Amino acid sequence: MSSRRTSPLAPCLIACLIASSLLAPVAAPAQAPPDPAVLLAGQREAMDRLAFLDGVWRGSAWALSPKGDKHEMTQTERVGTFLGGTVRVIEGRGYDADGTLVFNALGVVSFDERAGEFSMRSYAQGHTGDFVLTPMEHGFTWEIPAGPMTMRYTANVANGTWHEYGERVLPGQDPVRFFEMTLIRVGDTDWPEAGAIGPK
C-alpha cells in the first residue's frame, strides 16, 4: 500500500500564505467625489465678493499704442453672473468718437476652492490667457506676466464709479501707466443669465 508523500516545504508555504492574508491591508473604500452642491455653494459665496461689479457701466478711457500714441475712447463694461452665480462674466467695449468699435474683451472670473484663489480667463485682441485675480475691499488687481515685464491692472470701484488703470512694471524702474478708464454705473443688467433656452 503506497503512502502519499508531502513535500517538507508544504507546511511552510501554507503558514506563509495564512500569515500574509492576515497581514494584508484591508482595501480602503473608494473616496466619494465632492458633493456638487457644496462646491457650488462655496463658489457662489466667493463670487459674492465681486458683486459690486454687476451692472452696466460707461465712461471715458485712454490707452497708449505700442508707439506711445495716446488714443482716447468711450469705454463700456457689462458684468453679470452665470451658472447660478458661480462665475462672473465681464465684457468690455471701446468706441471711437464716431461710434466705431475699436476694442472688445471678455473675462470669465471663477474661484478654485482647492487653490483658494480667483482666476480670470481673458479674451482680448486675439489673445487668451488665465490670470490670477485678487479681490480687494473696493476693487481688484490682476497681472499679466510678459517676460521680465509685468502688466498690472488695478481697479477701484466705489460709490458708482469704476476707476481702473494698467501699468507696465519692470524691475528697478518706475511703473509706466499705459491705460486708464473712469466709468459710471448706468444701470442693472440680466446679462448673461437672460435668454436661456427652456425645455419647451
Range of 176's domain? 51-187
pLDDT band per the 50, 70, 90 thresholds, residue 65: confident
pLDDT for the residue numbered 31: 74
pLDDT digits (tens, 9 = 90+) for 4-28: 444 444 444 444 434 444 444 554 4
Instruction: State the CATH number of the domain containing residue 101.
Output: 2.40.128.20
Please give the full DSSP string across the chain, using - where no structure is assigned: -------TTHHHHHHHHHHHHHHSPPPPPPPPPPPHHHHHHHHHHHHGGGGGG-EEEEEEEEEE-TT--EEEEEEEEEEEEETTTTEEEEEEEEE-TTS-EEEEEEEEEEEETTTTEEEEEEEETTEEEEEEEEEETTEEEEEEEETTEEEEEEEEEETTEEEEEEEEE-TTS--EEEEEEEEEEEE---TTTTT-----
Say what the pTM is.
Answer: 0.81
pLDDT digits (tens, 9 = 90+) for 146-195: 999 999 999 999 999 999 999 999 999 999 999 999 999 999 999 999 99
Whether 44 is in a domain gets the answer no
Q: Give the count of domains, the chain.
A: 1
pLDDT for the residue numbered 18: 42
pLDDT for the residue numbered 19: 46
Mean pLDDT of the chain: 87
> Given a cut of 70, is residue 33 above it in pLDDT?
yes
Percent of the chain with pLDDT over 70: 85
pLDDT for the residue numbered 4: 46
Whether 119 is in a domain gets the answer yes
Whether 84 is in a domain gets the answer yes
